[in-house]
Amino acid sequence: MSAKLCLLLFLFLGFTASYQDWRHRKIRNRLILRGLGAGGALLGLLFLNSVLGHLGLRLGRIGEFYFPWGYYPRVALHVALSFAAAFGLWRWSVWPAGDAKLFTLFSLLIVIIDPNLPGFPGFLFLLLLINIFVPAGLVLGAESALKLALKAGGLRRFEARKWGKARLETAGIRLRELWPYRLEYAVLAINLFALFFGLQAAQARFVRGLGAPLGPLAAFLFVFVFWRLLIGVLKNKAVGALALAGLCAWTLAGTVLWHWDIAGRLWTTMKMTCSFGMLLSMGSFVFDWIIERESLRALRTEELALGSVLSNQTWDRLAAEKELSGKLARRCVDGLTEEDASALRTWLAGRAPGDYTVYQTIPFAVWIFLGSLLTVSGCVNVMAVLTPWFGRVRALLAAGAGRLFS
């Protein structure tokens, strides 16, 4: 009974939040609070079932079917982990506050609908994030690729030799610019390698339920979310020396005390480090070069409102203006406050528009809803479903390359 009511509540909240975010680019706090209240009431009804059931009492059908006491601490742990993940994604400007709240709410509802979901309670939040971000990334990437293909009419005049020569010259300039910082990048590589080795070792030693592919995905997610915080530490030379010493000590301890396959672990860590480097490079290319450019729109003064998201370049330029000094709050992924928007409208009035841009934000509530729906409906891990297809695509590409060069 509670599961069916919770499923109806989940579907209602999902469709409503998706519509609000799509139409108004905002998820109302009132909707989240009412959803939390209703979810808490359903959880309370389950708890009353357990109380009556363990006492051998019934109140109609209440007390006839009930969960063991251990279910409720597991729910608390799962919701706490989900909230921590959502808070981290908000804090590091991946999600606005409304999306983070919606994710936490859906995390509570899905374990009321089905308490037997794989990964519950320790890793279900991670499966939920995978089911949200992977389909969204694939669709947004395909959309960007389609837009590029539609603009490919000018490729008929494309001169490959000239383009290649220009790219080589640009790469040479970039290498000369980066050469003075080679030691910092070497320290970064050592520290990143040590970090992944430590995460892998900790997982194998203390978190045995998180095997491949969830282990590497969990490590990637952790480092990716906190990358902006970690990058300053990972470039520190003293930290690099300590990391190298700790890596040697940990390797020795693992060999002597726990009989690790050191060669295998080092090789796995090397692959993880290289894969994460490729992930950062591809992420930078896709988000900074394709998606960000496609999201930029010219700033119109009359459209400035609560939640408008200024582009990085526009924010830096406006924040440097003396007349706006002290009038703009700290930049936030949720966009401009009402006071920020009012101050900018006043300042821009009567001025030439200038080269100011804003981001056309993506309504992400629909992806949170669909990812949660995939999780609770039985398609638990999108990566597990897609991995065989990735293998087939890779085999087809390899076969095509073999025929091309044979």
Give the mean pLDDT per block of 10 residues along the chain (406 residues).
Answer: 86 93 85 93 89 78 77 92 88 82 94 87 84 81 70 56 72 77 80 78 57 60 67 78 80 75 78 70 57 69 75 76 70 74 77 72 86 82 64 65 57
Which of residues 89, 122, 155 is at a domain's end?
Answer: 122
The answer to whether position 304 is within a domain reads yes
The answer to whether position 46 is within a domain reads yes
The answer to whether position 288 is within a domain reads no
Which of residues 122, 145, 161 is at a domain's end?
Answer: 122
Residues in the chain: 406
Contact between residue 230 and residue 198 where contact means Cβ atoms under 8 Å apart: no
At 19 the pLDDT is 92
The answer to whether position 85 is within a domain reads yes
The answer to whether position 275 is within a domain reads no
At 241 the pLDDT is 82
Give the number of domains in the chain: 2
The answer to whether position 310 is within a domain reads yes
At 159 the pLDDT is 60
Q: Which residues span the domain enclosing 350?
A: 300-355
At 108 the pLDDT is 94
Contact between residue 52 and residue 62 where contact means Cβ atoms under 8 Å apart: yes
SS3 content of the chain, % helix, strand, coil (to 5): 75, 0, 20
At 102 the pLDDT is 94
The answer to whether position 343 is within a domain reads yes
Sheet with strand 357-359: strands edge to edge:
296-298, 357-359, 309-310
At 292 the pLDDT is 60
* Tokens found for residue 214: 């969830």
The answer to whether position 68 is within a domain reads yes
Q: Which residues of 57-68 are buried (b: 16+ CB within 10 A; e: fewer)?
A: eeeeebbeebbe
* Tokens found for residue 236: 């520190």
Which of residues 355, 374, 391 is at a domain's end?
Answer: 355
